[in-house]
Amino acid sequence: MPSFASFCARLTALGLALATVACSQAATAPDTSALDVAADAATDLADADTLTDAIADIAADASSVADTADAALDAAGTDATADADAADDAAEVVSCTPGTQTCQGIKLATCLGGGDGYSVSACFPGTACFNGACKAVGANLIIAFDTSGSMSTDVTNKAGVKNCASYDPWPKCEYDATKYPNGCTRIGVSKGVFKQALAKLDDQVTHLALFKFPQTVDNVGSKSCDSGSYSGQDTVSGDNGEQGVDSTTSWFNKNFGEVLAVPYPGVSGFNSKAAIGKWMDGTESQPSDPELRADGGTPLGKTLFYVGEYLRNKVIVDGKKCSADADCGSVNYLCQNGACLDPARSCRDTVVVLFTDGGESSSNTYFGPWVQAKRLSTGLGCVTDSDCVGGATCQQVFQCSKTGTGWTGSKESVDDKPCGIDADCGVGGKCASHQQCQAKTDPTGLAYFCSDGAAPCDPLLSAHCNSTDPQKLCKPDPTSGLYCPAYCVRDPRPGISAIATSASNNVLRSPDGKAFGVRLYIVDIGSTSDADIINSWHLAMSGGGHLLGVDAGDPAAFLGVLDKAFDWKNKKVCGAP
């Protein structure tokens, strides 16, 4: 006969909640009685017609043992009647309405025909139980739209001819579908194609938010087709350089509308597509009718920082205190036991699609674009693997420090050259070590990836290889498994050494303290030079995503790229939340 402990362990593994209660009760009884319960339970399981009958029999046996133990205690002058009554109550069989459904975690529980228990089953891949039904697990999709001044550049078609010789003055501008069917400028073409792509999305499954680069609204000055009522900025008003914000940060609460155009839905039923479409319809009347306009620089790093802070404060809020679901303020969440919970968090993708017309270079400082992209996807500095996300691990990294004072994480003069000894760093340099989240490298060990598909590649065997290399090492070979038809570029992540001053800001965390990751996809419609394309690919790699390049003069191809960027049909099997 198996031991009582092993028998109960099997019951617990099967998820038999009532039997587990019974075992707990019997464990407090004399040893001989406990073994009797185990024996009786084995017989019950063998003889029962249904699993529910077995559970009821086991519970009854355990209750009987509890009563016997209570009597023994009474004889010794101790009254344990209240404890026995409580055990009896706990061992009662579940009562439910046959056919009704509820959720047990992310699994679907259906009340049995006898109304005395539940049949629990996993939902299909890509779905999870939510409010009593298996529902599609959609992605959190954040669209970050480039509203820099260069987006007002005229677009030329494949033949090199401008889409429009000219267009109407303010306020109609290029937004006349009859006169300018394909748009005239990068921003005009982009808004037209974006609307087509968004029309195909189900925003009740894929939940959306729209960001732009920081801009303020000027209702007094003269308007133009390029900038409308907007004036571009490098940061949100009041931002004094904090490396992390929370609900008490005044400028974050007061001025965040300068960068956030359409918020993530707080409740189901919110029409995100209509709200985003209002920013892309070519009409503007402040403050009721806003519009995306092109004015300002290209603060990619700061914008990615703002996206991350918004996600961890407003969207992914597991552990936030609540009294009702609405208190969570995020559509995927339920309020359970006073805290917000996304039952399908373990299998829900969070994706940022950054739409831009050019690859900005990056500085190795906290607010640099590549640094912020890496912060979103894997995390920066770390102590253990739990400080990293996206499959990254916490590793000791050796890099040159020009200061010669070792690693501090706050100096901007750090040379990101890998090293083994001080001599590798030149005169006065030091080979300093620190802990960094590092993504898994490719199996070839080369750490080069192709901008077309992100497969590992060898730069000496790929297209765009410098055939005038004096060493004559460049030999493109389309038959090689390491050939890249686009740009074979070294992974920049091992060289990203900047970390936050406070360890709490090195990775995104929800209110319960658990780290989460975000993938970054770059849609580039403007880069033409090798350097700009490579910069965009560096940014995408830093964010753990892909580069999707397209010519704004080819609307059909542009739409195909956006369809690909927005195609987030989750096919994962959800694990325990």
pLDDT at 147 over 60: yes
pLDDT at 10 over 80: no
pLDDT digit string (tens) for 496-520? 889 999 999 999 999 999 999 999 9
Cβ atoms of residues 279 and 261 within 8 Å: yes
> Does any domain span residue 298?
yes
Task: Tell me the CB-side half-sphere exposure of residue 49, using CA atoms within 13 A.
Answer: 1
Distances (CA, A) of 351 to 48, 130, 221, 277, 378: 50, 21, 37, 20, 13
Q: Are residues 156 and 250 in the same domain?
A: yes
Lookup: tokens for 160: 């090199």
> Which of 423, 458, 490 lies at the terminal end of a domain, its last residue?
490
Confidence of residue 24 (pLDDT cuts 50, 70, 90): very low
Overall number of domains in the chain: 3
pLDDT at 394 over 70: yes
Residue-level pLDDT at 151: 94
- Quote the CA–CA distance of 213 and 236 in Å, as a whole number: 9
Q: Are residues 485 and 522 in the same domain?
A: no
Cβ atoms of residues 181 and 341 within 8 Å: no
Lowest mean pLDDT among 34-43, 137-146, 355-364, 549-558: 34-43
Average pLDDT over residues 457-476: 77
DSSP state of 328: G
Which residues are within 8 A (CB) of 380 and not within 5 positions of it... i.e. 6 or more apart? Answer: 371, 374, 436, 437, 496, 498, 499, 500, 506, 507
Q: Are residues 473 and 526 in the same domain?
A: no
Residue-level pLDDT at 475: 86
Q: Are residues 13 and 78 in the same domain?
A: yes
Q: Are residues 311 and 374 in the same domain?
A: yes
> Does any domain span residue 119?
no
Lowest mean pLDDT among 244-253, 443-452, 568-577: 568-577
Cβ atoms of residues 551 and 558 within 8 Å: yes
- Quote the CA–CA distance of 255 and 109 in Å, as a whole number: 45
Q: Are residues 192 and 296 in the same domain?
A: yes
What's the whole-model pTM score? Answer: 0.78
Q: Are residues 32 and 172 in the same domain?
A: no
Average pLDDT, the chain: 79
> Cα angle at 125 between 119 and 128, to 5 degrees?
60
> Does any domain span residue 402?
no
For the chain, percent of residues with pLDDT exceeding 90: 45
Average pLDDT over residues 243-253: 92
For the chain, percent of residues with pLDDT exceeding 70: 76
> Which of 54, 72, 90 lies at the terminal end of a domain, its last residue?
90
Q: Are residues 190 and 225 in the same domain?
A: yes
DSSP per-residue letters across 302-316: HHHHHHHHHIIIII-
Burial of 14 (0-12, 13-18, 19+ CB in 10 A): exposed
> Does any domain span residue 425?
no
pLDDT at 54 over 90: no
> Does any domain span residue 299?
yes
Q: Are residues 486 and 496 in the same domain?
A: no
Q: Are residues 300 and 229 in the same domain?
A: yes
Residue-level pLDDT at 357: 86
Which residues are within 8 A (CB) of 522 and not within 5 positions of it... i.e. 6 or more apart? Answer: 354, 356, 359, 536, 537, 539, 540, 543, 545, 546, 547, 548
Which residue segment(s) compose the domain that 46 sits in? Answer: 4-90
> Does any domain span residue 397?
no
Confidence of residue 472 (pLDDT cuts 50, 70, 90): low
Q: Are residues 254 and 333 in the same domain?
A: yes
| Terminal alpha carbon distance of the chain | 36
> Which of 90, 109, 132 lies at the terminal end of a domain, its last residue?
90
- Quote the CA–CA distance of 535 and 492 in Å, as a whole number: 10
- Quote the CA–CA distance of 327 and 316 in Å, as a whole number: 13
> Does any domain span residue 532?
yes
Q: Are residues 479 and 545 in the same domain?
A: no
> Does any domain span residue 391?
no
Average pLDDT over residues 402-413: 42
- Quote the CA–CA distance of 210 and 208 in Å, as a whole number: 7
Lookup: tokens for 552: 């704004």
